[in-house]
Amino acid sequence: MTEMYWHDGAGWPRTAKKTLEYPKEPLYAMMDNSADKSGNLPYTVYMGQSRTYSQVREDANRVANFLVSKGIKEGDKVAIFMPNVPHYPAVFFGALKVGAMLVTCNPLYKAGELNYQLNDTGAVLVFVFDHPTFVPTCYEAIKGTGVETVVVCNIKSFLPKIKAVIGGLIGKVPKSPYYEEDKTIFYDDIIAQYEPKSPQAKADPNDTAILIYTGGTTGTPKGAELTHSNLVSNVLQIGDWVYLEEEDIDDRPSGGVRYGEEVFCGAIPWYHSYGLTLTLLMSTMYAGQLVCVPDPRGGKPPMSDLLKDLQDTKSTVLNCVPALYAAIVNHPDTSKFDLSSVNICSSGAAPLPPELAKSFEKVTGAILFEGYGLTETSPVTHINPTNKKQRKFGSIGLPLADTICKIVDIQEGTKELAIGEVGEIAIHGPQVFKGYLGKPEETANVMREFGGKRYFLTGDIGHMDENGYTFISDRKKDMVNVGGLKAYPREIEDLFFEHPKVAIAAVIGLPQEEDPSNEFVKAFVVLKDGIEATPEEFIEWARDKMAGYKRPKEVVIVDSLPMSTVGKVLRRVLKEEELAKRGS
């Protein structure tokens, strides 16, 4: 039926292999391999300062030895609560070297959201960026959890000396207003005190390496277990696929990803599978430079800092969400920056409007191609051919090497559908995750077996054409796509239920007027009897309860909500009514 690793037709790129060999190595081996082969090459880049592969490996080994001294052993959970700062790779690979599972946490989380993640995973230690908000949030979040140690990572040691001194004098170097001494250790002390020799590595490629939280198909946050093998495979699949044809680019390097020569701009967060795999891990595998961008929207006007980073570092690889590409295209000063080095550009996490891709290519001279994936697939399963002749706008592209895509019936996911028929997208491949941590039933609900192979039901609805290109037509999930970040209605509704004035609430996503491919959160609230409240009251309340992208932009107080016969709120009806009001 629709089983397809690859296709002999016109769509399949001439350079891409249909199957690959994957090394049976743990994830941290990619850093060690690059350090062995290219130790003197620059690795992390921040504020004009760089550290080599050898230096970062030594720091990772110090982190590993520190963790051993704290009793961290194979299978223990270590959390990272940081933006894209230069400490990240050393912490990331150092924890993996002792067999720990990494819990990547969104630095925008409020204390309650972080507390849930730490409790659910059983994390015992957290690395947090030294910051007026992050550190106090972390201290509050660890209450009632198994976390005994907080490692605070200050940026000062990664700044040029003059900026570090001046920044310290005038208070521009971010730091927490206080530290809880009985729980706190400083990253700089770890680097100063521990040996740079690697401890005995303790990881099997089939072990879980990372726990990334996702709402999956239900919207309830849960930890997706990605193995060392899942992530190594996905990096190699992506690297094999990318090949730029000379006729598509303006006086820039053609061919595939160049070992030791690419500069990866870290514009999207590394706690998210997209930024982690396509930027942090890809740069490491290919001995590229990793440009640390803690806040891509920084500067005046917003995004100016990112444009300056792209120019000053001569970045060649840019992985972004459509909202960031739109911001680059629409920035008033884009033409003042030299973006001629930017070459390989991918778009994911949200649909890429064809006109936006064309506008970005016109502004930069680079080629922009769309891909698709999910947290549970490490994340990439499909990429459009990275040449203008074969790509199909509106499509997510073709399945990568060793990846089979099926379209199955929406109701049960047990029947394969024919080419052209619309159904749920199911994926088999080496990048498909192990399961949801501690949730065997939910794991079983999203897995199906066809021909002895294990498939993941993505929750996305679409069809496949005769050349193997896949098109997404709708989403089975109710998640709201806010600039590439996923807000889950059920999670937000659960928080509303904690408000003493709320009887019931429903949340939907609506397209933004200025960018219909992007959404915002709208909440409908039914008050308890005899209670009065204003929409503004709830919007203000949400500031302390949830990350910015989850907060409702609009709140409306209603007398009742549409319900099914079994008492389930019909979000679909709410959305249809709102779209009708807006004339959409």
pLDDT at site 452: 95
- Which position has the token pair 């514009």? 267
- pLDDT, tens only, 426-449: 999 999 999 999 999 999 999 999
Which amino acid would we find at residue 150?
V
DSSP per position, 487-520 = E-HHHHHHHHHTSTTEEEEEEEEEE-SS-TTSEE
The per-residue pLDDT for 370 is 93
CA distances from 48 to 42, 219, 302, 342 (A): 11, 41, 20, 18
What pLDDT is attached to residue 420?
94
Locate the DSSP E strands across 222-360: 222-227, 263-266, 289-292, 317-320, 344-347
> Is residue 171 over pLDDT 80?
no
Q: How many domains does the chain have?
A: 2
pLDDT at 162: 58
307: left (phi over 0), alpha (psi -120 to 50) or beta: alpha
Q: Is the pLDDT assigned to residue 19 strictly greater than 80?
A: yes
pLDDT confidence bin for 160, thresholds 50/70/90: confident
Q: Which residue has the higher pLDDT, 5 or 504?
A: 504
Q: Largest Cα–Cα distance in the chain?
A: 71
pLDDT of residue 214: 87
Please give the pLDDT value at position 464: 94
On whether the CB atoms of residues 109 and 84 are closer than 8 A, the answer is no
pLDDT(351) > 80: no
pLDDT at residue 226 is higher than 70: yes
Domain boundary among 154, 182, 202: 202
Q: Is the dihedral of CA 14, 19, 23, 25 positive or negative?
A: positive
Residue 473 has pLDDT above 90, yes or no: no
CATH number of the domain where residue 71 is located: 3.40.50.980
Angle at 437 between CA 411 and CA 451, to 5 degrees: 45
Tokens 């498939």 — which residue? 455
Q: Which among 202, 225, 244 is the end of a domain?
A: 202
Q: Contact, 468 vs 444, CB < 8 A?
A: no
- CATH code where residue 564 lies: 3.30.300.30
What is the SS3 assignment for 471? strand
**CA angle, 555 as apex, 553 and 558 as ends, to 5°?**
160
Instruction: Give Cβ neighbours of residue 270 (< 8 Å, ≥ 6 apart).
Output: 84, 88, 92, 104, 276, 279, 280
Do residues 473 and 407 lie in contact, with contact meaning Cβ atoms separated by under 8 Å?
Answer: no
- Give me the domain span that covers residue 503: 480-582
The amino acid sitting at 168 is: G
544 Cβ neighbours under 8 A, 6+ residues apart? 110
Of the two residues 131 and 201, the one the predictor is more confident about is: 131
Query: Which neighbouring-strand residues pair with 353?
Result: none
Comparing 495 with 33, which gets the higher pLDDT? 33
Q: Give ∠ CA 388-481-578 in degrees, rounded to 5.
A: 115
Give the separation between CA 191 and CA 151, rounded to whole angstroms.
Answer: 12
What per-residue confidence (pLDDT) applies to 186? 98
* pLDDT at 140 exceeding the cut of 90: yes
Mean pLDDT of the chain: 90
pLDDT of residue 22: 96
The two structure tokens encoding residue 487: 């807000």
Task: Check residue 201 and report its DSSP letter.
Answer: P
pLDDT of residue 8: 47
Cβ neighbours of residue 287 closer than 8 Å, sequence gap 6 or more: 34, 37, 38, 41, 53, 259, 260
Please indicate, yes or no, if residue 397 is contained in any of the structural domains.
Answer: no
The distance in angstroms from the start CA to the end CA of the chain is 36
Average pLDDT on 508-525 reads 89
User: pLDDT tens-digit profile of 255-278?
Assistant: 999 999 999 999 999 999 999 999
β partners of residue 504: 526
CA nearest neighbour of 500 among 532, 466, 462: 532
Higher per-residue pLDDT: 358 or 67: 67
Tell whether 175 is covered by a domain: yes
- The pLDDT tens digits of the residues spanning 20-43 come to 999 999 999 999 999 999 999 999
**What 3-state DSSP class applies to 186?**
strand
Please give the residue that has the higher pLDDT: either 219 or 303. 303
Looking at residue 541, what is its pLDDT?
94
Q: Which of 316, 241, 231 is nearest to 275 (CA)?
A: 231
Query: Above 50 in pLDDT, residue 374?
Result: yes
- Structural contact between residues 351 and 323, judged by C-beta atoms closer than 8 angstroms: no
| Residue 70 DSSP SS3 | coil
- Within a domain: 166: yes
Give the residue-averaged pLDDT of 54-72: 97
Find tokens 């005038």 and name the residue.
170
Q: In whole angstroms, give the CA distance from residue 161 to residue 156.
A: 9
Residue 31's pLDDT is: 97
Mean pLDDT across 498-516 = 87
Whether the predicted pLDDT of 520 surpasses 50: yes
Residue range 398-418, pLDDT digits in tens? 999 999 999 999 889 999 999
User: Among the listed ranges 171-180, 213-222, 293-302, which one has the minimum average pLDDT value?
Assistant: 213-222
Residue 518 pLDDT: 87
pLDDT band at 169 (very low <50, low <70, confident <90, very high): very low
Q: Which of 508, 519, 574, 521 is nearest to 552 (CA)?
A: 521
- Percent of residues, the chain, with pLDDT higher than 90: 70
Residue 525: band (very low, low, confident or very high) from pLDDT cuts 50, 70, 90: very high
- Does residue 393 contact residue 369 with C-beta atoms inside 8 Å? no
Domain membership flag for residue 562: yes
Asked if 196 contacts 62 with a C-beta cutoff of 8 angstroms, the reply is yes
Residue 135 forms part of a structural domain: yes
Is the pLDDT at 220 greater than 90? The verdict is: no
Cβ-Cβ contacts under 8 Å for 303 (sequence gap 6 or more) = 296, 297, 324, 327, 328, 331
Residue in this structure with the two tokens 């204390």, named with its chain if needed? 111
215 inside domain: no
Q: Where would I find the H helices in 39-154?
A: 53-69, 88-96, 111-121, 134-141
Do the domain assignments include residue 339?
Answer: no
- Domain limit, last residue, from 167, 202, 237: 202
User: Distance between CA 14 and CA 505 in Å, rounded?
Assistant: 52
pLDDT reading at 584 higher than 70: no
What does DSSP assign to residue 50? Answer: E
538: tokens are 């709830």
Q: What pLDDT does 164 receive? A: 52
According to DSSP, residue 569 is labeled B
Q: What is the pLDDT of residue 350?
A: 75
Predicted confidence band at 16 (pLDDT cuts at 50, 70, 90)? very high
Q: Give the dihedral sign, CA 276/279/281/284.
A: negative
pLDDT grade, residue 486 (50/70/90)? Answer: confident
Structure tokens at 539: 């919007």
pLDDT, tens only, 560-575: 888 754 446 788 889 9
Residue 362 lies in a domain: no
